[in-house]
Amino acid sequence: MTSTSLSAHVEPLFRRLSPIRYRSPLRYPRLVGQVLWRKRRDQAVLSAKIQALIAAQGRDLAPEVLDTYLESMLLLHYLQLSNIKVYSMLKPELMDSLASECARVLRAGVPGDFVDVGVWKGGSSMIMKSVNDYLGGTRRISCLDIYDTMDLQVIDAEDPVDDRIIVSALDLAREHFGTEGVRTSIAEIRQNFRELGVGLDGVEFLRGNLISPDFPFDRVGEIALLRIDCDFYTATKNTLARLYPKVQPGGTIIFDDYYLEGFGEARAADEFRAEIGDDSPLLRVGQSAVWRLPGGDQASTSST
């Protein structure tokens, strides 16, 4: 089966997962109205509050980093205020990269299942399941999350101050807009699968706080592809400590927010890789880093 045929299969799913990435803004007049009417004011108010948080912690953040973070945060809330449903905030290049890596490990015969850590509305899990089914795979899809909202419960004493600031900023935005923010639930994700026509057979939802030693990581078996979207230091480090030993030779680990400055995910990944003595290069895809483990058929790297 060619990469072209796979691309033709997954792109319609991408467009349904995040239609705003593919359509003209003019298709969404309510969204455009929100942006034109209130963006400058909202950005100024939230920027001032977040800067105060940062200053109170004796930290500093480059204006361009804060602006990038605010752009994403504002878009999420304007979508919710406009009643525009999206199932993923991933940009097309990240969706394409995820599909490519799923196809690569399947075609290379890397044993193990697909594991999605940090699920939100289920978009990335749906991509994994869709590629698996289209290529005739028999891999299970394990979806790991707290299935609640992202607040200080996902942070502990080991997390850097920056992670605590980001979580607090999420709370500020949720209060400012009166929207749900990044809240999710297993029931909602199951319904999202059904709405987009993606099968739920072989999909397992594991619930708990990823920073807790009691998270049911032991229910995960061998892994061919592990996607980590924990954002923060402790959750990422804990996930790697428990799941890395299960990733099979030739498998893939994706760090969703590795290149987002201010998030603890990159620090956790770098520390862990140093601890195990792995200095292999990471492949950069937008804000994400792709770590292909040695072994298996590394020649099979075709894209979607």
For 75-122, the pLDDT digits (tens) are: 999 999 999 999 999 999 999 999 999 999 999 999 999 999 999 999
Q: At 45, which amino acid appears?
A: V
* Residue 296 confidence class, pLDDT cut points 50, 70, 90: low
Q: What is the pLDDT of residue 297?
A: 53
Best CA proximity match to 158, nearest among 105, 63, 237: 237
Q: How far apart are CA 127 and CA 283, in angstroms?
A: 20
**Helix (H/G/I), strand (E/B), else coil: 241:** helix
Q: How far is CA 264 from the centre of its chain?
A: 14
Average pLDDT over residues 134-144: 97
Higher pLDDT, residue 135 or 62: 135
**Percentage of the residues of the chain whose pLDDT score is greater than 70:** 96
Higher pLDDT, residue 256 or 6: 256
Q: What are phi and psi of 198, to 5 degrees?
A: -100, 130
Q: How far apart are CA 245 and CA 248, in angstroms?
A: 8
The length of the chain is 304
Q: Would you say residue 10 has pLDDT above 50?
A: yes
Could you tell me where the beta strands, DSSP code E, fall in 189-246? 203-207, 223-228
Best CA proximity match to 229, nearest among 151, 119, 114: 119
Q: Would you say residue 304 has pLDDT above 80?
A: no
Q: What is the pLDDT of residue 154?
A: 87
pLDDT tens profile 201-240: 999 999 999 999 999 999 999 999 999 999 899 999 999 9
Q: Would you say residue 181 has pLDDT above 70?
A: yes
**Percentage of the residues of the chain whose pLDDT score is greater than 90:** 76
Lowest mean pLDDT among 186-195, 227-236, 255-264: 255-264
Q: What is the pLDDT of residue 303?
A: 39
- Give me the chain's average pLDDT, please: 92
For residue 204, the 8-state DSSP code is E
Q: Would you say residue 196 has pLDDT above 90?
A: yes
Higher pLDDT, residue 112 or 171: 112
Phi-psi label, residue 83: left if phi above 0, alpha if psi -120 to 50, beta otherwise: left
